[in-house]
Chain A
Amino acid sequence: MCPDSAAPEGSSNGRQVLGAADISRVLRRIAHEILEANKGADDIVLLGIPSRGVPLAKRLAALIAEVEGSDIPCGALDITMYRDDLRRQPTRAPMPTQIPDSGVDGKTVVLVDDVLYSGRTVRAALDALADHGRPAAVRLAVLVDRGHRELPIRADHVGKNLPTAQSETVRVRLAETDEADSVTIAGGAR
């Protein structure tokens, strides 16, 4: 699982779908979408789902602050303890959950994750969120939606819809965690 610094097209690392500039443009659009849907930045709380949702949420918060000129609360929501597949794999070490001091009660919480796939992570996140309070509304923003939902869950803000086969692997790399920004797709039938 070592992050590769470069993922050239057609290499064994897979095909690059989004580069650093694309990711930056996509996030900027999502930031504007969130503001548009919410009619401003009031009462928005961004919560990233570890690990890569957290830096994405921070970037969105910075972009929104750039547009609106005011900081918005941003945190992290770990879902490890709420997974429905705990018994199917060795235990994982949970990551920190950071709920902003303003809390989530009555706020519009935007969950942020890198890839939307089965929807099970989001289901777990909704359970986890309910244990921290009662938001007025919960929205979902993802960098990539790769389809294959197993639950009735959809994203409100999508960076890129990426049709995939289930045998393929979508990998998101972010500068904060993996040196450089990229989204690649690998594996599957060629």
Chain B
Amino acid sequence: MRGNGGRMPSGAAAMPRHLLSMADLDAGAIRTILDTATQMQDVQRREVKKIPTLRGRTIINLFFEDSTRTRSSFEIAGKWMSADTINITGKGSSASKGESLRDTVRTIDAMGVDALVIRHGASGAAHQVAGWVDAHVINAGDGTHEHPTQALLDAYTMEQRLGSLEGKHVAIVGDLTHSRVVRSNLISLRRLGADVTLVAPPTLMPSGIGAWSAAEGFTLSHDLDAVLGGKGSGEAARPVDALMMLRVQKERMSGGFFPTAREYTVGYGLTRDRLNRLCDANPEIVICHPGPMNRGLEISADAADAAQSLVLDQVSAGVAVRMSVLYHLLAGEESPTESGATSEGSAA
């Protein structure tokens, strides 16, 4: 377009208008976002953390559920790219006066904002909102459904330590029923070529997961020690390259999913004992947790603070990955579906 000699348009994959589910991103788009995040992390390391890329754009963080890292990292990501970011929480908004979600988001949209980052307790809320507004919608967690930017930052963090995830074995352990992280992670990890094993007690496996595992090609287990190898597991288990511990979401639990916390920890927690066995077998293993952690329940303090733990790397990657997502969704021309390939042809 600028006719800049032979500059090749660096092949950025087509991006969706909204990021509602990891399924919105094909393998190429995931790759592009993760590669861009690497460059964004350079900005994060600079003395002056500000680039002009989203100057004049307005991003609203609309959070109907509590959040520390997701909300602040979206806010920082927007600010470092010179966008104006505004936080609205459910408690402090007109929603607490009884305004419907539709009215709230249409009100905000009417002010002319460019993007709505939304977290809501109801699964599917972001999809609904996307149909009501002109702004780009980014799902920052909807109920027990999806949390795509978390999956992106998990993949990014693991890649930083492990290299390509192609053929790597990732075990995701814990409260699968109430986790929105697990669904997004499954989609992204499978698209990046990783093998995934999900581990949970039968009571915390979502119903219908059997059919899903057959379709997506991942493995299910109720026995953490068998998956991790060692103690009592006869057959040599497939070595685990990355272990992702999920939070036990007590606030979403309305019944008895396990008898006692102690019993959960013994069966499915990353205890010091399990950590030592794992690290002896494979010192290169990495441990992730999307946070916030229940120390002593699903993850011991030793594991959370171990050299193998990527918990803080995940937080730091969260900003870079969200900058990358905001860049690819907001910085380019509008309605990318119509123009997709045209400018490439004339770019020579």
Q: Which A positions have Cβ atoms within 8 angstroms of B?
A: 1, 51-52, 78, 80-82, 85-97, 113-115, 117-118, 120-121, 127, 131-132, 143-144, 146, 166, 169-173, 177-178
Contact = CB atoms under 8 A, between A and B. Distances in A.
Contacts of B347: 1
B42 A117 contact: no
23 contacts: A52-B6, A81-B43, A81-B327, A85-B1, A85-B2, A86-B331, A86-B332, A87-B332, A87-B334, A90-B333, A90-B340, A92-B12, A93-B35, A93-B36, A96-B38, A96-B42, A114-B5, A114-B6, A117-B3, A117-B4, A131-B51, A146-B5, A170-B3
A72 B6 CA distance: 27
B33 to A, nearest CB: 9
B32 to A, nearest CB: 5
Nearest to B53: A81
B6 A89 contact: no
Contacts of B36: 93-94
A166 B11 contact: no
B159 to A, nearest CB: 16
Contacts of A95: 10, 39
Contacts of A1: 8-9, 344, 347-348
B211 interface: no
A132 B46 contact: yes
**Secondary structure dominating the interface of B:** loop
Contacts, number: 118
B7 interface: yes
A87 B54 CA distance: 10
A121 B4 contact: yes
B328 interface: yes
Contacts of A88: 1, 333, 343
A90 B6 CA distance: 18
B220 interface: no
Contacts of B2: 85, 117-118, 120-121
User: 3 closest Cβ contacts across the A-B interface?
Assistant: A115-B5, A91-B332, A171-B6
Given A82-B51, A131-B50, A171-B6, 5 more contacts: A80-B10, A80-B39, A89-B9, A90-B15, A171-B5
B287 to A, nearest CB: 29
Most buried by A among B6, B7, B339, B340: B6
A153 to B, nearest CB: 13
